[in-house]
Structure 1
Amino acid sequence: MHTLMHIGAGHGSELAEWLASDAERIVLVEPHPELAEQLRIMAENEARVTVVEAAITPDPSRHELLAFNLPDAHSLREPTALTQLFPGLKRVERHPVQTMPPAELLDASGPGSDEPGATLILEAPGEEQAILQALIDGDRLQRFSQLRLTASPEPLFEGSVGAPELLQALQAYGYEITAEDQQDPDWPRWQLQLNPLKRHLTQLQAELAATQQARDEAEKAIADRQEAHAEAQATLNKQLIEQLEALVQKEKALTELMEQRDQQDEALAEQKAQREKLDTQLKAVQEELTATQQARTEGEKAKAEAEKVIAESHQATQQAQQEAQAANSELANLKQQLTEQHETLAQKEKALTELMEQRDQQDEALAEQKAQREKLDTQLKAVQEELTATQQARAEAEKAMAEAEKVSTESQEARAETQSKLEQTHTWFMNRKQQAEEQADTLQVRDAELARLKREHEALQVQLSEAEKERDQYQRYFQNRKKEHQAAQASLEEVGKALRDKDAVIARLSEQLAAQQQGEDATRSRLGELEGKLDQLFGEQRHYIQQTTSALGQHVTRSARQQRDEQALAHYLHHGRRLPGAEVLPAQALALLEYHQQQRHDLVLVFGMASLTELLARVAMPDPRLEGSRDNSAGQQRIAPSQGDLPQRIISVEHRQQACRELEGLLASAGTAGAVTVKHAPWVAAASDQLFYACEPLLERLYGWLDDAARVLVVVGQALPEAGHSRQAALATLLQRLPTQRLDLVLPHADGHHEEALPAQWQRLLDARQREWSRLDVPQANAWRIDG
């Protein structure tokens, strides 16, 4: 040990002990001015002793030391429960003192971070929690491998805490309790030692928890990002599908427009061909008209010549009358033929008019153009054939007219009619030309519409190109997201690897700690065996003394009934067994064991009677040393208790931790620890402000474990009445926490402590709760059987 620091050194009563130790440096801290001066005088010749006059507290506002008429109660805080514990407590003076934070004290006078074996003695009433918490928060408490704490079990000052909470914080930090001094129950002392493995394990567990939390947060973030990525991907896929569908629809519409354009191109080509054909026909008609005009001129010339001939031949009229009659007959035939041709031309004109109407209908319905074109071609072909026939007939007619004009003047009328028909034909062709021009205008309009459709097609192509670019961007975005997801997975794998490494370190430290605990258990087992041997020797010596005193007859006052009970109990406990203590009379023990054997209780609950617990444990689980010595000679093996053995469970409750440890040591040395569960339950205020064991959580767990028809044997010892308290609260607590089970409740009589009113009080309580009960016959005890 290198450095010893004593906070709250007081009068220096322990200085000689510190000087006798191997501490290289001793730091005495005391805020009281007079006591600090006294410490300096005592240590003026000791070079390794340093006296610090200061109040250690993280709160600089607490700069006044309150001095009381109780020297050990000087504190920086106002007393609260201390005045109740010491009603005569008075404050005698108030000292302004210098304060110093714990961290500053350690930096100035304490051990270094690399100095091993330092010890801290802490005696600062009311300020223990503040000092320890400041050292824990600054991670400076680990500099002390040994720590001795003096603190009250209950908080006695304003803002202070009790010893259990301080010990719990120190154990959580890595300290283990190695010794406990309860000589002064108001100010007990605990000796603690820092376990580096446990502290390292605690730190690793904290780091593991933080790492696991970080991993959970990372997994959650990754899951959120994956979910967002999935949602975004689903949205983008949906948008992409919608865009693709729109593109498909646009491509379909474009295909339809292209088909319409092709159809319009075909229709335009057909119309152009028809217009060229009509132009050709018009040109031919014009040529025919020119030829007809020339023929007319020639006819007029022939007419003049014919008139001249007629004039010349007037003289020969008589001679030519017969020829004239023949000519008139031929002329009548020619007139009839011309009339027939006129009717034929009228029909043809009507047919051409119908063809023009059909052509107009073709402009309104492009789908019927092909059929109309074929029909028109057929009709035009027929018309051409008819025109050819008409031209041939007209040529013949002109030839006949020429011959007739030479013969008769009536041929002029035929020529006039022919000219009229030619004029009508010219008019028809002019109309056809006008219609062709209108069709050319229509073609121009359709060319403009086709250009507009081409522009729309180009715009759709541009939109399609933009959509493809956007799709490429989305694909790149998805690839980047995939890379980020892969990187996150790699990071998660690294975190998992780090966690596995931490788990391996924790497992290795756990194995080391388990090995250390096994060594301690082996030591405790050896100590238990030694204690058992001592107990056996003491028992044999006591038995020998009892036999000797019985033989000599010195001071024997035992009645016949007591002798019978002790013999029966000795027979019940087999060879070598003894009554563990004087708390249970032999008659009581025998009656309880016989009753327990008859009733086969599911649970035995003992409050404050360690001797009865040890007796029941030995009955439930025989001593392996005694059983082995008897059974080995017969070649038999010891059988451990099973579920069919009774009692299946024994629970012993003590109000002091020291008593719990002593009972556990006795059970371990006797080899019966497996049959008993020892619980610590301090006395607390229960019903009607009466004290009883703080066993409500234990009873609640038992209620959840036991069946409703379970049988429970409850024995409440004499610890409460011996301390001046009543056992009245026992029944109310048991009825409240075990309401459905059958209770066999036994209260052994406490010598010198009268509880005459207790049976009547309990009877009124059972009657008020309408519980069926009956009294049991147990010597020197009050016993009840309470049905569930």
Structure 2
Amino acid sequence: MTSTPVHTLVHIGPGNGSQLPEYEIMAPARLVLIEPLPTHANSLRRLAASQLNAQVWEQAISCRHNNQPATFIEFNLSEASSLHQPSGLLQLYPGIKTLRQHQVQTQTPAAMMATLNLPKSETHRLVVEANGEETAIMLELAQLGLLQQFKQVQLALPATPLYINEQPTEQLPQQLQDCHFELMQENTDDPDIHVQLWQFNQHSYQREQQQHKLTATIKEQEQHLAQLTAQLQQEQTRHVAASNNADALTSQVTDLKKRNAESDQKLTTLQQSLGEAEALQAQTQKEAAALKEQCKAAEQAQQAAQDQLNLLQQSLAEAQAQLVSSEDELTKYKNYFQNRKKQHEAAEQQIVELTQQLSSANEQINQLTTQLQQQQQQQAGSKLGELEQKMEQLFADQAEQLRQNTNALGQHVTKMHASSNRQWQATLAVQHSLSFGEQPLQFSDTSISPELAQHLITLVQNNNYDLIIEFGSGHSTSLLARALLSQNKRWQGNGQLALHNGEPQTQLMPSEHDLPKRVISFEHNKTFYQQTKQALQQQGLSQIVELVYAPLVDYSEQGSDYLFYDCKDKIKQLAQILAGREAHILVLVDGPSSTQEQESARYPALSHLLKNLAAHKLDIILDDYHRNGEQHIAEQWRSQLKARSLHFNEASLHCEKGALMLEINH
């Protein structure tokens, strides 16, 4: 059909190999024939044995079987065999019948492209004849951006749908044009099957890529301009703030200068007072020296008088005879001595007073000296530094006061919330006990939140789960069992639970071929295990829940070590019981508790499930999604699911502690 050299030619659904002679003429460097029907695959191996570059893959390309085995229907018209049941094919060929069914291996288009690993610099061609899957294959390759690896695509499209669940072909041409493919040829010789040849337009693709790059560059420049504008506004804001701070500092410096001038004036006054005090001290010292001289002279005079008195006393005996005649002279001497004594006492009193004045003057001098030193030290310090210290201290005091007020408010709100929660639960317990005669579930900081409990109840009531698995028991165990019992009453005609003598009984009796209980809960803490077991017995839920004591054991994966529940054998047993059917399973991951040393303690839960239950529909809920450790676990789970090519959807559940829900194989 074309003279362009082809490196790799991939043919999906070559049938009995009628096009192999044409491929020999084209001489591709590599020929890949993908055929699910065993008889055709064996025939293709014999026909292509002479071509060293030919490969035959005995499998089907399917977008909905997730690389798992599927049923392939072989009709008496072998080229019409398909993974789908016929619809319009019955009108086109009324005599068509099913000969047999085969279990064939399937591969998604993405997995097929990964296995092909086409060289980017070569020209490759794709031929699709996949009865009922052709439109789905092309759409998935286009949406994943993998179709551009082929420069030529040949399609065999039915004029009307021939199979059940076959996707309509109306949107396919527009999708191919969006991927820069142009319709080069269309063969309508067969009115029921049209053969189209599409060619990849490299120039159109490059123009679009250049336009995307230009658009991205413009967006980056706009973002950069917005950042520069924001920075300019911030600088302007800072400049205004700096100007305001400068004005405030200028005002403060002016006040400081005024205070310095006042301090200088006071210092001058104190220096003058100090000079006067020093002059007074000098005058006082002079007077004290004069008084000392006078006292010394008086003492000398007194000594001389004493000496003379002694002489008189000595001569008294001699003068007694002359006493009567010298009485007037003696009285005169006595008066003289009395006057001198008075003068001496007055001089001593004056000396005491001057000494007190001198002590008072010394104290005043010391006080003035201390004041002078303090003033000098204050002037020597940095006034601006004092101002900055005062401002920093003021800001620190305000920040501390704000922090204390915030903490006090937070503690008050927390206490109010805890008190309200306790009173609300107590009121609910009283009302529930009076109305129904049973104790309601109690929620705490370590149990699931009421919002998550509501999500779980809704899931159980809206889905007929075959099995519920719980990692970490507690109030959630009773909640799931009660929800399942309530759901059974709604699905009484089709459910698997019934009541017998007031006790919930499972119609699935314990055996090696079926499920012993509908809820499987793993618990590693012996105390919590006994508490949950007793609560289930008191509430009459033991027939619904199988509580498994599973201590934490060492578990290693990809070079990392974990401590996780000893649950491998139990999950393997469940997988054996569920073998041969596609079960719908709800999984709650609420344990084990994360620690600072091991934030990813719950990571192994998905690995245990996928090793044995990967073929079933899984609804997995990860509690405490507000924590960094659980968010890191979710990232690892996404990578693990993508590595296994398992389809999944995810949603965040709005609740107090956060929760993430993964829907796998839906």
TM over 0.5: no
More strand by share: 2
TM-score for both structures, normalised by structure 2? 0.40
More helix by share: 1
Greater Rg over alpha carbons, structure? 1
TM-score for both structures, normalised by structure 1? 0.35
